[in-house]
Amino acid sequence: MKHLVPMRKMLPSNASGNGNHREIANTMKLYHQKLGEGPPLIILHGLFGSSDNWLGIAKVLAEQYTVFLPDQRNHGRSPHSPSFAYADLAGDIREFLEDFSLKRVVLLGHSMGGKTTMKFALDYPLKVDKLIVADIAPKAYPLHHDKTVEALQTLPVTQMQSRKEAEAELLQQIGDMATVKFLLKNLERDESGKFRWRLNVDGICANLQAIGAAVSGYNTFDHPALFIRGSASNYVQDEDWPAIRELFPQAQMKTIEGASHWLHVEQPQEFVKVVQTFLAKR
């Protein structure tokens, strides 16, 4: 079942021709999808992603949990905002819990979503039963999405006649078909039939430093935490472990062999197995 709370006012697309639509929300009511029954589990996608990316994993976990899949602000069908720090994203999750009267949840987040879950767990530890972080550490990361955002900004999507045309132009700029296909999941048509980005491309561009920033909080998170990394990914290194354990004293690490940063896509069965094993422990 999909739930959309349209507490927002649409404004015209900006004049840059990139198809970015801007939105002002009365409150940050996140679009979400909901599956299954049982204890609540929230899954947060990464940068340029959406709730749709996690449906396959969610369907398996929904056999034992009520799985909530929100689109984070500036992504998917959720409202856009110029403010995009991890304090904002964690605040959105706090509001989400309040809206659905969820007192305590399991949190699972990948990449940017992993940092959001870490921030939330550190600021609101009593609201999190268990924490699962997929292929990201709490440290600061160097700027590395600037070329991708530039490609999205400069692509004249409102003038595109087909997705194939947009694909060809993005591929010329980015050079990796898998990345291009992932980004194009954010391309949609507006009411007039013209293409636009669901993403708040300009908002993301203005906050790239904040997206790469380190995560800290008011507390440590002293409940069970699992950090999952891909053996072929360089996002979480052995030397990151002391800093992880300082913030998350009960943290444990699992490595999925043969997986890159997109470990849940490349090794979905192994990823689910690791998650289920962790959640089954009391």
Q: Does a structural domain hold residue 120?
A: yes
Contacts of residue 168, Cβ cutoff 8 Å, sequence gap at least 6: none
* Catalytic residue, candidates 92, 111, 233, 264: 111
Q: Does a structural domain hold residue 187?
A: no
Considering its fold, how many domains does the chain have in total? 1
Three-class SS state of 58: helix
Secondary structure E strands in 18-135: 22-25, 32-35, 40-44, 66-70, 105-110, 128-134
Q: What is the pLDDT of residue 146?
A: 87
d(CA 112, CA 143): 13
pLDDT in tens, 76-133: 999 999 999 999 999 999 999 999 999 999 999 999 999 999 999 999 999 999 999 9
The rounded percent of the chain whose pLDDT value lies above 90 is: 86
Residues 256 and 228 sit within 8 Å (Cβ to Cβ) = yes
pLDDT in tens, 140-155: 999 888 889 999 999 9
Q: What is the pLDDT of residue 270?
A: 98
Q: Does a structural domain hold residue 213?
A: yes
Provide the pLDDT confidence category of residue 4 given band limits of 50, 70 and 90.
very low
Residues 252 and 227 sit within 8 Å (Cβ to Cβ) = yes
CA 70 to centroid of chain Cα atoms:
9
Q: Does a structural domain hold residue 11?
A: yes
Residue 38 has pLDDT above 50, yes or no: yes
Q: Does a structural domain hold residue 195?
A: no
Q: Does a structural domain hold residue 40?
A: yes
Kindly write down the DSSP assignment for every residue of 69-96, as one continuous string.
Answer: EEPPTTSTTSPP-S---HHHHHHHHHHH
What CATH number is given to the structural domain containing 43?
3.40.50.1820
Which two three-digit tokens encode residue 282? 């009391």
Count CA within 13 A, CB hemisphere, residue 64. 10
Residue 239 has pLDDT above 50, yes or no: yes
What's the pTM? 0.89
Q: Does a structural domain hold residue 132?
A: yes
Q: What is the chain's mean pLDDT, rounded?
A: 90
Question: Is 202 a catalytic site residue?
Answer: yes
CA distances from 186 to 127, 154, 196, 207, 213 (A): 31, 15, 8, 19, 24
- Which residues are paired to 131 by β-bridges? 107, 225
Question: Is 135 a catalytic site residue?
Answer: no
Three-class SS state of 282: coil
Domain extent at residue 256: 2-143+206-280
3-state secondary structure 161-190: CCHHHHHHHHHHHHCCHHHHHHHHCCEEEC
Residues 235 and 261 sit within 8 Å (Cβ to Cβ) = yes
Q: Does a structural domain hold residue 168?
A: no
d(CA 212, CA 149): 14
Q: What is the pLDDT of residue 1?
A: 44
Question: Is 21 a catalytic site residue?
Answer: no
* Catalytic residue, candidates 88, 202, 233, 264: 202
